[in-house]
Amino acid sequence: MENSQNPAKNTQHTLNIENKKLLTATGIEGVRDFSPSQFTLVYAGGRIAVGGSDMKITAFSKQTGSFAASGQFTSVKYIAAGEGLRKKLLK
């Protein structure tokens, strides 16, 4: 029987930023929101919030989990799965 696991569902992922201008990532399940100054990626462990300016998505494949963006990147924040909900409930 053939293993039909989706590569994007893999628990491992990578995130690389080159010269603060090119971001590539693997293991990405989706893009939650996007604007030229901020976007949020979804991966198996939660979310990744990326901030900057003039940002553009240059490639995304939900099938393979690969993602690429260009722009001026200034921040990256990992948010664990369920963390946003906990903050709202404990306010």
pLDDT digit string, tens, across residues 7-43: 445 468 999 999 999 999 999 999 999 999 999 999 9
Query: What 3-state DSSP class applies to 63?
Result: coil
Place of tokens 């903050």: 87
Contacting residues for 81 by C-beta, under 8 A, at least 6 apart: 45, 46, 47
Q: What is the DSSP letter of 8?
A: G
pLDDT for 40-83, tens place per residue? 999 999 999 999 999 999 999 999 999 999 999 999 999 998 76
**Residue 86 confidence (pLDDT) above 70:** no
For residue 20, the one-letter residue type is K
Q: Which band of pLDDT confidence, cut at 50, 70 and 90, is reported for residue 2? A: very low
Yes or no: is domain 10-81 CATH 3.40.50.2300?
A: no
- Which residue spans within 1-86 are E strands per DSSP? 14-18, 22-26, 28-35, 38-43, 46-61, 66-80
- What pLDDT sits at residue 1? 36
